[in-house]
């Protein structure tokens, strides 16, 4: 079983739609959580950290459920520029963060 699991997608949604991604992690001792975004042929970039109480940044809302060990990312009012791969990332206590394989989003006009 992978330490961080994500649905690879692709999620094809029209502009303006709301889309949600989920991710599960296996290590219950994981300490911090993030969503990264990776565009095609580019490096991953930090999108947002995920806090236990849930947090919002503009159109993006991240939530953490420690009991069920899952993390979610909600994108409202999708834009064409949101098309990318979204990586669920977990700090399991190792030196490097643990990355999920990513969920691909394609927003269509």
Partner 1 sequence: GAVVSQHPSRVICKSGTSVKIECRSLDFQATTMFWYRQFPKQSLMLMATSNEGSKATYEQGVEKDKFLINHASLTLSTLTVTSAHPEDSSFYICSARVRTALGEQFFGPGTRLTVL
- Cα(95)–Cα(21) distance, integer angstroms: 26
Pick the stretch among 13-21, 60-68, 73-81, 83-91 that binds partner 1 (CB under 8 A).
83-91
Pick the stretch among 16-24, 54-62, 75-83, 100-108 that binds partner 1 (CB under 8 A).
100-108
Count helices and strands in the chain by DSSP H and E runs: 0, 11
- Given 27, 69, 92, 101, the residue binding partner 1 (CB under 8 A): 101
- Cα(85)–Cα(21) distance, integer angstroms: 11
- Given 28, 43, 58, 81, the residue binding partner 1 (CB under 8 A): 43
Pick the stretch among 20-28, 62-70, 72-80, 98-106 that binds partner 1 (CB under 8 A).
98-106
- Binding-residue total with partner 1 (CB under 8 A): 20
- Cα(50)–Cα(34) distance, integer angstroms: 5
Strand, coil or helix: what is 81?
A: helix
Q: What's the min distance (Å) between Cβ of 36 and partner 1?
A: 8
Give residues with Cβ within 8 angstroms of 21, minimum separation 6: 6, 7, 11, 72, 73, 86, 88, 103, 105
Contacts with partner 1 by CB under 8 A lie at 31-32, 34, 41-46, 49, 87, 89, 91, 95-97, 99-102
């Amino acid at each position: 079983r992978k330490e961080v699991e994500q649905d690879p997608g692709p999620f094809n949604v029209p502009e303006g739609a709301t889309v949600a991604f989920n991710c599960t992690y296996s290590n219950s001792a994981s300490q911090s959580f993030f969503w990264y975004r990776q565009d095609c042929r580019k490096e991953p970039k930090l999108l947002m950290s995920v806090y236990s109480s849930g947090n919002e940044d503009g159109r993006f809302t991240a939530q953490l459920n420690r009991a069920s060990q899952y993390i979610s990312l909600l994108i409202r009012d999708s834009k064409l520029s949101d098309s990318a791969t979204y990586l669920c990332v977990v700090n399991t206590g190792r030196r490097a963060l643990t990355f999920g394989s990513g969920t691909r989003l394609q927003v269509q006009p």
